Amino acid sequence: MNGIIYVIFIVSAMTITPSVFEYYTPSTMVEAVNLLEKYGDEAKLLAGGQSLIPLMKMRFASISHVIDISRIEEMDYIKEDSNRLSIGALTTVDELGSSVTIKNRYMIIKEAADQIADPLVRNMGTVGGNISHGDPANDLPAVMLSLDATFMVQGKNGGKEIKAEDFFVDSLITALEPNEILYEIRVPKMVKRQGGAYIKHKKSAGDFSVAAVASNIIVDGDGKIIKVGVALTSVGPTPIKSTRAEGILAGKKLTEELAAEAARSITEESDPVSDFYGSIDYKKKVLRFIIKESLVAAYKRAKEAQ
Amino acid sequence: MITGQKFVEGKGTYVDDINLPGMLYMAIVRSPYSRAKIASLKGGLNSSDYEGRMASVGEGGSGEINIYSEPVFAQGYTSYLGQPVAAVFGEDRYKAEDLLNSVDVEYEPLKPVMEIDAALKADPIHPGTKNNILIDKWVGKEFKDTSSPIVLEDSFYNRRVATNPMEPRGVVATYDGNRLTMWASSQSSQSIKEGLVEAMNLSPDSVRVIQADTGGGFGLKGGLHPEYVIAAHAAMKYKRPVKWIETRSEHLSSSNPGRGARADIKIFAGKNGIINGVTGEVYVDAGAYGGFGEFAPRFIAYQLTGPYAIPNGYVRAIATLTNKVPQGPYRGAGRPEASYFIERMVDLLADELKMDPADVRIANMSSEPFKSPLGLEIGAAKPFFQDALKEFEYGKRFTSDTAGLGFFVLVPGIGPGEGARIKIEKGRVKVWLGGDTAGQGHQEFVRTLIREELGIASDLVELQLGDTDAVKRGVGAWGSRSAITAGAAVIAASGKIKDMVIKDFGDYSPENALSGSYDIDHFEEMKGTLNSFGANIAVADVSPLGAIRVKDCWSYYDVGRVLSKESVWGQIMGGIVQGIGQVVSEEIAYSDEGELLTGSIADSGVLSADQVPNFVVKVAENRSDLPHGVKGLGEAPTIGVPSALVRSIEKVTGKRIRDTPVRPEDIAEDF
Ligand SMILES: Cc1cc2nc3c(=O)[nH]c(=O)nc-3n(C[C@H](O)[C@H](O)[C@H](O)COP(=O)(O)OP(=O)(O)OC[C@H]3O[C@@H](n4cnc5c(N)ncnc54)[C@H](O)[C@@H]3O)c2cc1C
- Over the stretch B51-96, which tens digit does the pLDDT of each residue have? 999 999 999 998 899 999 999 999 999 999 999 999 999 999 999 9
pTM exceeding the 0.90 threshold for the entire prediction: yes
Is the CB of residue A176 below 6 angstroms from any atom belonging to ligand 1?
A: yes
Distances (CA, A) of B391 to A205, B198, B460: 33, 50, 39
Check the CA dihedral B526-B528-B530-B533 and report its sign.
Answer: positive
Closest chain A residue by Cα to residue B609: A205
B574 backbone dihedrals φ, ψ, rounded to 5°: -65, -40
Is the CB of residue A172 below 6 angstroms from any atom belonging to ligand 1?
A: no
Instruction: Over range B557-563, report the average pLDDT.
Output: 98
Give CA–CA dist A288/A285, Å, rounded.
5
Q: Which of A44, A121, A127, A198 to mutate to test the pocket of ligand 1 (most atoms within 8 A of CB)?
A: A121
Residue A126 CA to ligand 1 center (angstroms) comes to: 6
Yes or no, beta carbons of B97 and A17 under 8 Å apart: yes
**pLDDT reported for residue A204:** 87
According to CATH, the topology of domain B4-110+169-245 is Aldehyde Oxidoreductase; domain 3 (3.90.1170)
Yes or no, beta carbons of A15 and B599 under 8 Å apart: no
For the residues of B476-533, what is the DSSP string, one character each?
Answer: -S-TT-IIIIIHHHHHHHHHHHHHHHHHHHSS--HHHHHHS-EEEEEEEE--S---EE
For atom 12 of ligand 1, the residue with the nearest CA is A138
**pLDDT reported for residue B671:** 86
More confident residue, A13 or B654: B654
pLDDT level of residue B484 (50, 70, 90 thresholds): very high
Cα B299 → chain centroid:
13
Give CA–CA dist B427/B415, Å, rounded.
34
A204 touches B: beta carbon within 8 Å = yes
Of B247, B254, B663, the CB nearest to A1: B663
ipTM over 0.85: yes
Q: Residue B303: which residues within 8 A CB-CB, separation 6 or more?
A: B334, B335, B338, B339, B374, B376, B409, B411
A-facing residues of B in 384-443 (CB < 8 A) are none
**pLDDT reported for residue B4:** 77
3-state secondary structure string across B41-54? EECCEECCCCCCEC
Give CA–CA dist B454/B435, Å, rounded.
22
- B213 pLDDT exceeds 60? yes
Q: Residue B12: which residues within 8 A CB-CB, separation 6 or more?
A: B6, B213, B215
Instruction: Over range B120-145, report the average pLDDT.
Output: 97
- B397 pLDDT exceeds 70? yes
A-facing residues of B in 650-669 (CB < 8 A) are 663-665, 668
- Helix, strand, or coil here: B7? helix
Is the CB of residue A127 below 6 angstroms from any atom belonging to ligand 1?
A: no
A205 touches B: beta carbon within 8 Å = yes
Which residues in chain A are contacts of B609 at CB distance < 8 A? 205
- B651 pLDDT exceeds 80? yes
Yes or no, beta carbons of B610 and A59 under 8 Å apart: no
Please compute Rg for chain B using Cα positions: 25
Q: Which long-range contacts (CB under 8 A, 24 or more apart) does A266-270 make?
A: A266/A230, A266/A232, A266/A242, A266/A291, A267/A291, A268/A244, A269/A232, A269/A240, A269/A242, A269/A243, A269/A244, A270/A211, A270/A232, A270/A235, A270/A236, A270/A240
- Over the stretch A167-192, which tens digit does the pLDDT of each residue have? 999 999 999 999 999 999 999 999 99
Do domains B261-411+529-667 and B417-525 share one topology? The answer is: yes
A118 contacts A207 by C-beta, under 8 angstroms? no
**pLDDT reported for residue A9:** 38
Which residues in chain B are contacts of A203 at CB distance < 8 A? 547, 585, 605, 664
A106 contacts A193 by C-beta, under 8 angstroms? no
- Over the stretch B147-192, which tens digit does the pLDDT of each residue have? 999 999 999 999 999 999 999 999 999 999 999 999 999 999 999 9
B13 contacts B170 by C-beta, under 8 angstroms? no
Closest chain A residue by Cα to residue B668: A282
**pLDDT reported for residue A11:** 40
**pLDDT reported for residue A5:** 33
Q: If we measure between CA atoms, which residue out of A97, A116, A95, A117 comes closest to residue A107?
A: A97
Q: Which of these CATH numbers, 3.40.190.10, 3.30.365.10, 3.30.980.10, 3.30.70.1230, describes B417-525? A: 3.30.365.10
**pLDDT reported for residue B425:** 98
Distance from CA of A157 to the nearest CA of B (A): 37
Distance from CA of A201 to the nearest CA of B (A): 9
A-facing residues of B in 253-272 (CB < 8 A) are 253-254
Is the CB of residue A116 below 6 angstroms from any atom belonging to ligand 1?
A: yes
Beta-carbon pairs below 8 A across chains A and B: 94
Yes or no, beta carbons of A289 and B94 under 8 Å apart: no
Which residues in chain B are contacts of A50 at CB distance < 8 A? none
B433 contacts B463 by C-beta, under 8 angstroms? yes
Q: Please list the ranges in chain A whose pLDDT falls under 70.
A: 1-13, 306
Of A9, A18, A201, the CB nearest to B599: A9
Yes or no, beta carbons of A10 and B32 under 8 Å apart: yes
Which residues in chain B are contacts of A205 at CB distance < 8 A? 608-611
The full set of domain ranges for chain B reads 4-110+169-245, 261-411+529-667, 417-525
DSSP H helix total and E strand total for chain B? 16, 26
Which of B114, B545, B593, B671 to probe by mutation at the A interface, max A CB count within 10 Å? B545
**pLDDT reported for residue A8:** 36
Distance from CA of A278 to the nearest CA of B (A): 7
- Over the stretch B85-105, which tens digit does the pLDDT of each residue have? 999 999 999 999 999 999 999
Work out which ligand 1 atom sits closest to the CA atom of A47: 30
Of B97, B598, B611, the CB nearest to A276: B598
- B233 pLDDT exceeds 60? yes
Which residues in chain B are contacts of A1 at CB distance < 8 A? 663, 665
Yes or no, beta carbons of B602 and A206 under 8 Å apart: yes
Give CA–CA dist B286/B322, Å, rounded.
7
% of chain B beyond a pLDDT of 90: 98
B91 touches A: beta carbon within 8 Å = no
Q: A230: phi > 0 → left, psi -120 to 50 → alpha, else beta; which?
A: beta
**pLDDT reported for residue A77:** 98
Of B249, B605, B609, the CB nearest to A14: B249
| Other beta carbons less than 10 A from residue B16's beta carbon | 18
Which residues in chain B are contacts of A213 at CB distance < 8 A? none
Is the CB of residue A258 below 6 angstroms from any atom belonging to ligand 1?
A: no
Q: Which of A62, A131, A133 to mutate to test the pocket of ligand 1 (most atoms within 8 A of CB)?
A: A133
B4 backbone dihedrals φ, ψ, rounded to 5°: 80, 10
The CATH code for residues B261-411+529-667 is 3.30.365.10
Is the CB of residue A113 below 6 angstroms from any atom belonging to ligand 1?
A: no
CA B86, B92, B97 angle in degrees (round to 5)? Answer: 40
Distance from CA of B247 to the nearest CA of A (A): 7
**pLDDT reported for residue A3:** 30
**pLDDT reported for residue A12:** 52
**pLDDT reported for residue A7:** 34
B416 contacts B525 by C-beta, under 8 angstroms? yes
Work out which ligand 1 atom sits closest to the CA atom of A132: 34
- Domains of chain A, start order: 3-68 (3.30.43.10), 73-188 (3.30.465.10), 194-304 (3.30.390.50)
Residue A134 CA to ligand 1 center (angstroms) comes to: 9
